[in-house]
Amino acid sequence: MTETFAFEISGEVPSKKNSRRLAMAGGRLRSFPSKAHERWHRTAMAEIAMQKAGRIGIPLGMRLRVDCTFYHADRRRRDHNNQMASVLDLLVDSGIVKDDSWDIVAEESCRGEFRKGNGGAKIEIRILSEVTDEKCRDASRISGARIR
C-alpha cells in the first residue's frame, strides 16, 4: 500500500516567478517575490502547519510524487507550472519535503478546476521509494501530514 499525505490550502496560488518586485538592497538592484505572494505564502504556511500538527510525518530521504489540483475562483488564464513551483517551494519551506529537486520529487502533476469564488489547492504526496543517494538518506521523520 502506498502512503498518501494530503493537504489543502485556500486562496488562489500565485506564481512566484511572475510576481516579482525590484528593490535596492546593499547598493544593488534585487528581485523579491511580490507582497501578494508573500501574504499567500505566510497564510499557506500557517494552514499547512495546522494540518500537519501532531500527525504522522513524511519520512525524509524518500522519492515522492506530488499531485496538485488547483481550484480557480474565476476563469482567468493561469500557468500551472509556475503555480506548481510555488507549491513545491511552500512544501520545502514548511518542512514537509526535504528538497524539491528531481531526486526527491521524482514525479509531479497538476491540473485545474473551476470552483466559482473559492480558489485553493489540494496537494497529494505519495511515497514512491527510498532515495539511494547518501546526501538524501535520512532516517529522521518530520511531524507531518495525515495519511489517507
Please report, for residues 50, 65, 97, the alpha-carbon distance to residue 120 in angstroms, rounded to integers and kept in the order given. 16, 20, 20
User: What domains are there in the chain, each with its CATH number?
Assistant: 4-147 (3.30.1330.70)
Render pLDDT for 37-67 as a digit per residue (tens, 0 to 9).
899 999 999 999 999 876 666 666 789 999 9
Render pLDDT for 76-120 as a digit per residue (tens, 0 to 9).
998 899 999 999 999 999 988 888 999 899 999 999 999 999 999
Question: CA-based angle 36:91:82, to the nearest 5?
Answer: 55
Burial of 139 (0-12, 13-18, 19+ CB in 10 A): exposed
The cell for 21 is: 518586485
Q: pLDDT-derived band of residue 138, with 50, 70 and 90 as boundaries?
A: very low
Determine if the pTM surpasses 0.85: no
Strand partners, 35: none
Residue type, 118: N
